[in-house]
Chain A
Amino acid sequence: MRNAGLSDIELLDLIKQHDASAFRVLFERYWEQLYLFALKRLKSKQDAEDAVQHVFMSIWDKRSVRNIHFSLQHYLYKSVSYECIAALKRMLDRPSDIEAVDENILPLFSDVLENMSLQELNQLIETEISRLPHRMQQIYRLSREQDLSVREIAVSLNVSEQTVKNQLTTALHRLRKPVTDAMLLLLANELMIR
C-alpha cells in the first residue's frame, strides 16, 4: 500500500491534506489495538466497533483544525478511553444492553472500586500501570502529566490563571523545539482555544 512506510506524523500531515490513502494506512496500523482495547472494557463487539469508528472519524473530521504534534498513540488511547466511557453510558441507557452491563461491567465497580478509598485507588492504579507493557506505561504516565490543566498549574505555582496562559503563549512563540510532549500538548491546546 502506498504511504505504508511513513511515520505517524507524516501520515497525519497527508491526512490534513485530505489524503484518504494515508488515512487508510493509519487505520490499518491502529484499528486492531484500539478495537481490542475497547472490547476488553465493553465486552460488546458492536459498542467496541462504534468506539473505534468514532476515534477515527474524529481524526478525519478534524483534520484541518487539529494539530496532533504529540504522540499519536497517546492521542488514540486517550480518545478510545473516552469513547469507552461514552459507550458505557449509552449501554446503561439502552434497556436491551442492561443485562450485559450487569454481568460484565457493573460487578467490578460495585464489588471492588466503590469500596476503595482514594489512596487505595491511587495505589491500585500505580500497581496496574507497572504491570503494563513498557509502551503502554509511557502512554498512561504521559496522559496523567498532561491532565494538569491551566488552573491546576496556576494553583500549584500560586499564580493567576492569566499569568499561566500568558507564559504558555510567550513560551510557545519563543520555543522552536518542544521541551516535552506534555508541554507541547498544553501549548497546542492553548493555541486552539484562541
Chain B
Amino acid sequence: MNKEALKSIAEKYLNGTASEKEIKMMQAWMLLTEQEDASLTDQERLSAKERIWLMIDPDAQDSAETTAKPMFRRISKRMMRYAAAVLLLTGLGSVAWIYRFPILDMVDPIALKSMQSGPYEIKECWLPDSTHVTLAAGSSISYPEKYRGARRFATLRGKAFFNVARDVAHPFEVESHHMKIKVLGTSFEVDDADGREHALVTVVTGKVQVNATRQQPALLGRNQQLKFNKKSGSIAIDDTIDAGSVTGWTTKSLSFNETPLAEVLKAVAVAYQLDIQPGQQVVKSSATFSGNFSRSEYWKDVLDIICMSSDLSWSVNRSNTIVIKK
C-alpha cells in the first residue's frame, strides 16, 4: 500500500464510505498501536498541556480589543436537516453527528475567496468572522466565504496584519509558506514573503501559537517576535520588539521601499486616479523612492513629498495632466 491508498482509506473512513475491511484496518491500527511506548518527561507533559489548554481555554484573558459577533453559527435549519438526512442514510451514528461539519464540507463545499494587493498597495479586508486583515503590498490571502464547524482559517502569501475577532470556541489559524499560526483572538503580523531570509511573526496583543516547519510549537505574547530562518530552519524569539512600530505600515495605503521612481509615480496615479506624465529625460532610471502614505493624505502633498525627495517639481497643464519637471 502506498501513501495515496492510505489517504484514500482515511478519507473514506471519515466520510463514512469505507468498506468493512477498511474500517477493520483502521480499528486494528488503533488497537495494535496501543502497546507502543509514549512516555513523556515532566517538562514535555507540562508544555504540551499548556499548549493544548491555551487553545481551548474559554476564559482566556488576553484578547484583542475588538470583539465581533460570530457569524458562522447561522446555519439554516434546512441545512441541518439535510446533514441529518445524509447521516441517517450513510448510517454513521452519533459520532458522525458530532462531525457533521467535515461531512457537510464534503457534500456542500464552501467556496474560497481570495484577495490580492498590488505591488505597492496596502489593502484591507474583513473575513467572514469579522476578523480584520491588512494586506501588505504584493501579498494575497484566501479564505472561505463563510466559516463552518470548529475551525476558522486563512492562507497567506506574503505579509499581513491580523486583528482576529475573539471566539474561544473556534481558534483562528493562518497558514503561510513556512508557518502555521493559531490564535483565539489577538492581533499579530505574519511576514512570510518570498525572497527574504526570515519568516516573521510579531504579536501586538494576546497570545499566539506558531508552528514553523519542523520546529516545536512556540508560544508568543505581546511585543514578542518569532524569527524563522528559512535556510537553517532554526527559530529565535525576540522579547524586546516594539510591535507598534513593526506594524506601523498597517495605517498606510501606499508603501515604497527603494522603488524605481517611475513605478512610484505610476502607483500614485492609480491610487489617486490621476493622469501623470513624467518627462522622458526628467525621471532617471536610477532614481528610487522609499516611504509610506496613509489613506487620508492629500494627493498634492504626496506628489510634493515624492518630487522634493528627488529634486523634481510638478504642475498641472491645461488638459488636467500632471507634468513632472526638473
| A and B found bound together | yes
Binding site for B on A (CB under 8 A): 18, 20, 23-24, 27, 31-32, 35-36, 39-41, 45-46, 48-49, 52-54, 56-58, 60-62, 66, 78-79, 81-82, 84-86, 88-89, 92-93, 96, 98, 101-102, 105-106, 108-110, 112-114, 116, 118, 121-122, 124-125, 128-129, 131-132, 136, 140, 146-152, 185-186, 188-189, 192-193
Q: Is the CB of A109 within 8 A of B6?
A: yes
Instruction: Report the 10 A-B pairs with minimum CB-CB distance, sorted nearest first.
Output: A149-B91, A128-B31, A189-B94, A89-B10, A110-B1, A92-B7, A121-B24, A20-B58, A193-B84, A151-B91
Asked if B150 and A61 make an inter-chain contact with CB atoms under 8 angstroms apart, the answer reads yes
> Which of B46-54, B118-126, B288-296 is the contact stretch?
B46-54
Residue of B nearest to A100 (CB): B214
CA distance in complex: A23, B58 (Å): 8
Judge if B56 is at the interface, Cβ distance under 8 Å.
yes
Which of A24, A36, A40, A88 is close to B10, meaning CB atoms less than 8 Å apart? A88
Q: Which residues of A contact B25 (CB under 8 A)?
A: 109, 113-114, 121
B interface, CB within 8 angstroms of A: 1-3, 6-7, 10-11, 13-14, 20-21, 24-36, 38, 40, 44-45, 48-49, 51-53, 55-59, 84, 87-88, 91-95, 97-99, 102, 150, 168-171, 211, 213-214, 216-217
| Shortest beta-carbon distance from A164 to chain B in Å | 11
Q: Which residues of A contact B88 (CB under 8 A)?
A: 150, 193
How many whole Å from A155's CB to the nearest CB in chain B?
A: 10
A-B contact pairs, 11 of them (CB 8 A): A24-B57, A32-B45, A39-B38, A40-B38, A41-B33, A58-B98, A60-B169, A86-B14, A106-B1, A128-B31, A193-B87
Q: A86-B14, A148-B93 are in contact. List 4 more A-B contacts (CB 8 A).
A: A45-B44, A56-B56, A109-B6, A109-B25
Partner of B24, one of A52, A79, A125: A125
Name the B residues within 8 Å of A36 (CB-CB). 38, 40
A106 to B29 Cα, complex, angstroms: 10
Chain B residues with CB below 8 A from A35, complex form: 48-49, 52
Task: Let me know if A20 and B59 touch, CB within 8 A.
Answer: yes
Q: Is the interface of A mostly helix, strand, loop or mixed?
A: helix
Question: Which residue of chain A is the closest to B44 with respect to CB atoms?
Answer: A45
Q: Interface centre among B88, B93, B150, by most A CB within 10 Å?
A: B93
Cα distance A36–B37 when bound, in Å? 9
**Chain A min CB distance to B192 (Å):** 14
Contact present for B21 and A118 (CB under 8 Å): yes
A32 to B48, CA, bound (A): 9
State whether B98 touches A89 (Cβ < 8 A): no
Question: Are A60 and B58 in contact, CB atoms less than 8 angstroms apart?
Answer: yes
Min CB distance, B14 to chain A, in Å?
6
Minimal beta-carbon separation of A66 from chain B (angstroms): 7
Contact between chains at A102 and B3 (CB < 8 Å): yes
Contact B98 A66 (CB under 8 A): yes
Cross-chain contact A27 with B102 (CB below 8 angstroms) = no
Q: Give the shortest distance, in Å, between A86 (CB) and chain B (any CB).
A: 6
B7 to chain A: closest CB distance in Å? 4
Task: Write the chain B residue with the least CB distance to A122.
Answer: B24
User: What is the bound-complex CA distance between A125 and B99, given in angstroms?
Assistant: 25
Q: How far is the CA of A155 from the CA of B14 in the complex (A)?
A: 23
What's the nearest-Cβ distance from chain B to residue A161, in Å? Answer: 8
Alpha-carbon distance between A48 and B51 when the two chains are bound, in angstroms: 11
- Report chain B residues within 8 Å CB of A192: 94, 97
